Every structure is written in C-alpha cells, then in structure tokens.
Chains A and B, each alone.
Chain A
Amino acid sequence: MTGRTISDKVIDAHTCDENDTSLYRRVNVDAVLGHDATTALLIDDFERHGLSIWDRDRVLLANDHFSPPATAERADISNRFLSFAREQAVPNLMLDRGICHQLLVEHRLCQAGGLIVGADSHTIMAGGIGACATGMGATDILFTLATGTTWMRRPETIAVRFRGTLPTQSGGRDVVLALLGILGESGGQYRSLEFHDDSGTRLCQDDRFAIANMAVEIGAKFGVFVPDEVTVDYYVKRDGELLGTLVRPDADARYERVIDLDLSALDPRVAKPWSPANVVPLRELEPVRITTAFLGSCASGRLSDLRDAAAELTDRKVHPGVRFVVIPASVEVFKQALRAGYVETLTEAGAIVNHSSCGACGGIDKGVLGADDVCVSSSNRNFRGRMGHWDSRTYLASARTVARAAVRGALTPDLYRDQGDE
C-alpha cells in the first residue's frame, strides 16, 4: 500500500459505505457549518421533505452576511434563517457573533483530523488547524444536515512546502498570493493542498488561516496544514487540551506535485483586478490612487491583521481621500482588539471599525463600492462586481499593505520603502 496524504487518511477514516462507486465514497462528517445567506436557500426544501437534523450538536449556524440586516428583504431572509435554527433547536446558533468561518475555528466542533462541510466556499479555512474542511452548496448541505453524510471523490494532493523565514513585512496573505501567482485560479482544482510549514520561524496561526482560506481561490477542495506545535498550541489554548487527532501524511505519501516555496525572498504581493490570481510583487505595481481600504473578511480580519494595521496607523492619519473600513472577523477578535488598544488606534487614525460580519466583501453592506471606487482589500476575492459596482476595482493585499495604502492614499511600489522602517 502506498503512503497516504492527510486527505487520504481523513477520507478513509470517515468512509461509511465501501460499496459505493469507486470514484465517490460516502463519508460521515464531524460538523456542518451554515450561514444565513446559503442556509436560507435550503429551508423550504428541508421543510417540504419533512426532514430533521441528524445531530444538531454537530451543526454551527451563524448569521454573518446580514448582521445586522441592511434592508427589509435581508431582514426577512435573516428572520427565516433564525427561526429555522430555533425550530430545529440548533444549540450552536451564533447570533451576530461574527463570520462563520472564524466562529468555526473558535469552536470545539472544529478539531484536527475532522471532516467538515459548510455551505460556503471558505469553509476550507478550517484546514489551517489540520481539519479537512470544504465548502458546498445549499443542496449538498441540506443532504448532509439530514443524513450526517455526503459523497466525496478522493482528491489528488499537491504538497506545498514552505522554507526559509518570512520577512517581517510579509504575512500569510503574501504567501498565498504568491501561490496563486504560481498555480492560478484553477491550479488546485479538485485537489487537496497540503501545506508543510518547514519555515524558519513557523507561520503564525492567523497566517495559516489566511493561506487555508484562500486555497479555494486556487480551486482546492481542501487546504490543510500538517499539524505541528503551532497547531497543538492553538488547540490547547482554545480547549485546554488536544481533543482531536493530529493526522499527518505518511513519509512516502504520493503527491501529484510538490511545490517548494522559499519564504525568505517573499516581499509583499498584490492581486490586481479582477482575479485573485492576477498577482504581482507590490514593488512592480504601477501606482494607483485608492478611494477605499477594507480590512476584514474571513481571509484576514483576525487579531494579527488588526495589530499590523494598528502598528501602521499609530501616530498617523488615514489619507483624507480614503474611506478605511475595518471589520474584525468575530466579536471575540473585536474584544481582543479592544483590550489590546488596536480599535482606539485605528479609530484615532480615522478608520471606521464596524460590527463583525462579511461586510463589503460580498458586496453586502458597510462599504460597498461605487463605479469610480478603487479599493485595496484584505478580503479574498476581487472578482469583477463582487464588492459593488461592475466598474469598481479591487486590489487584494495583506492587512499591513491595506493600512499603508490607506495612509498614503494610494497603492504604490515604494509603499515599503519610505516610511522609515526595516
């Protein structure tokens, strides 16, 4: 038997029907994630079929898209979602607590070695702590809510090995943008990306979440980190002990491809409109004036992102031509940022700190773009029209780059050269 990758092992451990067709296997899942916008799409069918949830303790539901709702129509959708969750007596209904993907990794339901599905593509982010998690649509999730199972095809695995030490100006966002530049929007299609962090200082957990989150922009089914001491620290801090299973690949695991990424040479990256794979080093970018800066989303609205932005904005002001919107990924992150003083620093500098939710990332509210807006954003997608008007333009970058651009009023190739740093 050839060596197995993490996803091979996790799928094998969750297979419940060996007699299914060979290409697809029926698997048990450990947890199901849903939010207001996608879960609302399945409620009518769920009720029409007279279904009930297979194990309500394994379901986490969060209203993150419309939190709080900005229109009457969305309030109605939100209410439909909330009443469904309450009728089904889902204990883990997280009302206005933040973005579902962040709430999942803050919750005990998300464990290393687990198999998790969610009604949103960025469910993959839980791979940052060694879970095999993947996004699906409402119909798939309805089926899983009713049965606790789904069908999965065994994905080929691409190993990504990080070496060297990441420069202090760069973060997980720069790493994953560099990877998007290499693999493109479909280079990981149907694949499991398995991240091996052999870097000098080890990527911090927030960086890992950012990388796992955007693995879906490469088309991946899973984006899973090989669990290590950073992973264990996270679980011990969260749960008081390690409850899950650290699933590591075999030494002779079969990979479709191995990518070696030397982090020591990795300077800040930017994805230009209108693709997350349209990546260039910031130093090669043509200068562009911005009207909007957005720091938030499940990709990068965590404490270290707020810390980086606060460090950049200490004793500085947001450029008068820029609206800088900051949305912590969860209320827990917000509270930590309050205690650390980041919220005050950001507010003093002129940024707007909004309630935890998806915000403008999906063109929902709290900073949607107009036709003439040019935005630099720490969110995960700059698809045309996603954040608002079809003619608006979004550049993707790290929280630190977003903050620097907000001060400068522009994204410029010298953003890291003349603020008297490193």
Chain B
Amino acid sequence: MTVIGGRVWLFGDDLNTDVIHPPAFYSLDPDKVRRGLFHGYDPDIQPNIRPGDVVVAGRNFGCGSSRETSIRAIKLNGIGAVIAVDFARIFFRNATNNGLPCLTFADADDLARLRTGQRVRVHPEEATLRTEEDETIPLTPPGEFVRRIWAAGGLLELLPRANAPRP
C-alpha cells in the first residue's frame, strides 16, 4: 500500500455513517454518492476535499448503518486513509474490504496533535503518520489479516477460484 499525502480533516467521537453520508444521498449514481460526503455536517467540506486528504477522528468512527455508500463516498472523494482512536466494526470491515486504509493511533492522546488543514503523510505499511512539522505519530500496525486484504487490493480479490468465472 502506497504512502498517502494530503491535508487533515478532523472530526470528533462517534461519527456515525448517517452523518458521514446522509441517507438522502444513497444511490447507485457515483456522482450523487460523492456529493453527499459530510453534507449535513458541513456542506463546504466535500467540495474542498483533495485526493490524498486524510480523515482524522476520535472514538468509534463509522458507527451505525452498514451501507457501503459511506465508504464509496470517502473513496470517490479521494480520501486516502482514515486515522481514528478506534473504529466501529462494520465500518472497519467495509473500509478494509474496499482497500481504504483505516489505522488507529498507538497512543490516543496523539489525536490532539492534529488539526484540520495540517499537511500529513500516512505510511500504512510502517504504520506512521508524519506531520508537516516532521513529527512522527505512531499508529497501531495492522494485523496480518488486514495486510493480506490490502496486499490483494480488496476482499473480492481473495475470492477462491472455486467460485470463479463460469464458462
């Protein structure tokens, strides 16, 4: 998994999937899904996201619904990684399955060292985040299971061949 570089978008605790991506933007149309990201929370965020930007949040990021439109919206806007104190389990699985790196702080107190707009570089493989002030914030290394999905490029690439293309 490559290094991600961009600006921080900082959020608090318990950011649920209805706030990440309001139900009104549920769609199979990628453009509609893309525009919905954080729309209720602050409609000015989405138009200003640049590829490689990083979402940083507190505890329990992504709690609530299992709708993968929340992951799609994050990916369609080019967000490169989500760094949080911890993640809700369905969100974490969905993100990992879709190749969106989700990492947690090795020390939750490091959340306070980050602010919106700050430039950072996230190294998923070495599990670090470097700030523009050249501080290195350690992240919890992902387990072997997560690395395997990352390496494959998503869960679908791990589908066994037994159920591969029919003739």
Contact = CB atoms under 8 A, between A and B. Distances in A.
B18 A139 contact: no
Contacts of B158: 143
Nearest to B143: A23
Contacts of B66: 38, 119-121, 135-138
Contact of A151 (B26, B145, B154): B145
A362 interface: yes
B78 interface: no
Given A51-B159, A139-B156, A147-B163, A385 B94 contact: no
A45 interface: yes
Contacts of B90: 121, 135-137
A139 B155 contact: yes
Interface stretch (A182-190, A225-233, A242-250, A257-265): A182-190
A24 B162 CA distance: 21
A286 to B, nearest CB: 23
A363 B23 contact: yes
A254 B20 CA distance: 36
A381 B64 contact: yes
B71 A185 contact: no
A221 interface: yes
A50 B164 contact: yes
B65 A52 contact: no
Interface residues of A, number: 47
A255 to B, nearest CB: 19
A383 B64 contact: yes
Contact of A385 (B19, B60, B93): B19
B40 A121 contact: no
A417 interface: no
A362 B65 contact: yes
A147 B159 contact: yes
Contacts of B163: 51-52, 54, 146-147
Given A24-B145, A142-B156, 17 more contacts: A37-B67, A50-B166, A51-B163, A120-B65, A120-B66, A121-B65, A136-B90, A137-B97, A138-B68, A143-B155, A146-B159, A186-B14, A186-B59, A186-B60, A189-B88, A221-B89, A362-B23
10 contacts: A51-B163, A54-B163, A137-B90, A185-B60, A383-B18, A384-B18, A384-B41, A385-B19, A385-B40, A386-B18
Interface of A: 21, 23-24, 37-38, 40-41, 45, 49-52, 54, 73, 76-77, 80, 119-121, 135-140, 142-143, 146-147, 151, 185-186, 189-190, 219, 221, 275, 362-364, 381, 383-386, 390
Interface of B: 14, 16, 18-19, 22-24, 26-29, 40-41, 59-60, 63-69, 71-72, 86, 88-90, 93-94, 97-98, 143-145, 154-156, 158-160, 162-166
The 6 closest A-B pairs by CB, nearest first: A137-B94, A50-B165, A186-B60, A390-B40, A385-B40, A139-B97
